[in-house]
Amino acid sequence: MTPMIFRFAVDPEALVDAQTGGTVDVALRAAHERVIDCWSDFGILVLEGPNAQARTLIEAVQSLPEELRTMWEKALKKNRVFKGGPDWLGLGNVHQLSDLDQAPRFIDLACFSEEKASTLLEPDQWSVFPQPSLEVCRFGYLDRSETFLQSKTLAHGSIEKGASIETVWKRRFSPLARVYRNVCLIDRYALSSHRYCKEERATKSGLEFLIEKLGTGSRPSKLRIVTATNDEYSKEFAGSMLKRIAGNPKYEQLKEVILFIADDSLFRRFVHYRSIRFGRVFCQLDTGLEVLEGPRVKRTCNFHVMAQTSALDREEAMITTEAHMDVICRRPMKIKPAEIGQSQIGLTTGKQDREI
């Protein structure tokens, strides 16, 4: 199953085609723009590890004509990039599909030059799946790859009634949690939904599920919860209840939880949506955390992903400035490399500014 944020690698030879001559034709520039746009939207570029013996992608970028080199250098600073661990050698020494047997540990999609792709694919193919969890495609056709198209569908498609919440988390939210450390939940009804789950249904609430997943994730996280008061929960009781949950020693990866409780009128004035934000990636959930009340989604939830905008920043600031703030927990932050597959991968950048 393709995740909403996919891992991909580019064969350095795919950039060699652009290294002859100083002029960049329109078709060549368009191919590079398509790759960078897909990467910016939903991709994590996985660079070669320290044991790579062939030419690296960074070396290939440095040899590009100035116009394309500048384009790639900006993308490398702005977009999501992981540096591979010692077991990831990249695509430089791949000459047949069997050379990719271990690749799904590290990537979901491999992009090759036209020359090399001609030995890996049939002439009429732009992509192929040599393994169920790995797609191989031609460099200029990343935007037509099934991996990219499925990621795009997940980012703008509904979460259907009856879906497993574990699958929903794995495909849509877990990839973001692996990349972005700072998470912000805005859900007017988070506390009342939690109470209903515990007292009326005797089930785990969406709020508990979120805290559990972040607390047991592969890298440290910080969580801000922005919600409203209600008749059942006082501010003090809400804070103590969350401290019991978030303070669980098992949730050691959750390094900070801050609760903002605002008057309901503030939500009516400023915020008319429910969302989870990972870094600068804004995920709108029409049914809020109800979608994570298990074991299966109770009703279809409209879901939409976009980059955080300045308007959303202002709305979040307006409501948190006037809200009651309570520090639920703080744990020492020890930064460890994120994991991709079975290899240690260090996050080098994670900024995303364009709307997706």
Q: Summarize pLDDT for 205-260 with one digit per residue, the tens.
A: 999 999 999 999 988 999 999 999 765 567 777 888 899 999 999 999 999 999 99
Is residue 122 one of the residues assigned to a domain? yes
**pLDDT tens series, the chain, 356 aa:** 778 999 999 999 998 765 555 567 888 899 999 999 999 999 999 999 998 888 899 999 999 999 999 999 999 999 999 988 899 999 999 999 999 999 999 999 999 998 999 999 999 999 999 999 999 999 989 999 999 999 999 999 999 999 999 999 999 999 999 999 999 999 999 988 888 888 877 788 999 999 999 999 988 999 999 999 765 567 777 888 899 999 999 999 999 999 999 988 888 887 888 999 999 999 999 999 999 998 999 999 999 999 999 999 999 999 999 998 999 999 987 654 443 333 333 333 344 333 33
Is residue 195 domain-shared with residue 116, that is, in the same domain? no
Q: Number of structural domains, the chain?
A: 2
Orientation of helix 235-246 relative to helix 206-215, angle to 10°: 40
Is residue 93 domain-shared with residue 179, that is, in the same domain? no
The model's pTM: 0.85
Is residue 181 domain-shared with residue 107, that is, in the same domain? no
Is residue 275 one of the residues assigned to a domain? yes
* CATH number of the CATH domain containing 204: 3.30.870.30
Is residue 345 one of the residues assigned to a domain? no
Is residue 76 one of the residues assigned to a domain? yes
300 vs 158: CA distance, rounded Å = 7
Is residue 114 domain-shared with residue 202, that is, in the same domain? no
Is residue 325 one of the residues assigned to a domain? yes
Is residue 134 domain-shared with residue 219, that is, in the same domain? no
Is residue 104 domain-shared with residue 234, that is, in the same domain? no
243 vs 263: CA distance, rounded Å = 21
Is residue 101 domain-shared with residue 241, that is, in the same domain? no
Q: 3-class SS at 134? A: strand
Cβ of 334: how many Cβ atoms within 10 Å? Answer: 9
Joined together, the tokens standing for residue 211 give 């805290």
- Domain that residue 258 falls in: 157-332
Is residue 51 domain-shared with residue 65, that is, in the same domain? yes
Is residue 197 domain-shared with residue 317, that is, in the same domain? yes
Is residue 179 domain-shared with residue 307, that is, in the same domain? yes
Is residue 320 domain-shared with residue 197, that is, in the same domain? yes
- Domain endpoint, select from 152, 182, 202: 152
Please give the radius of gyration of the chain, using alpha carbons only, rounded to the nearest integer: 22
Is residue 49 domain-shared with residue 169, that is, in the same domain? no
Q: What angle do CA 353, 321, 243 make, to 5 degrees?
A: 95
Among 205, 214, 241, which Cα is nearest to 331's? 214
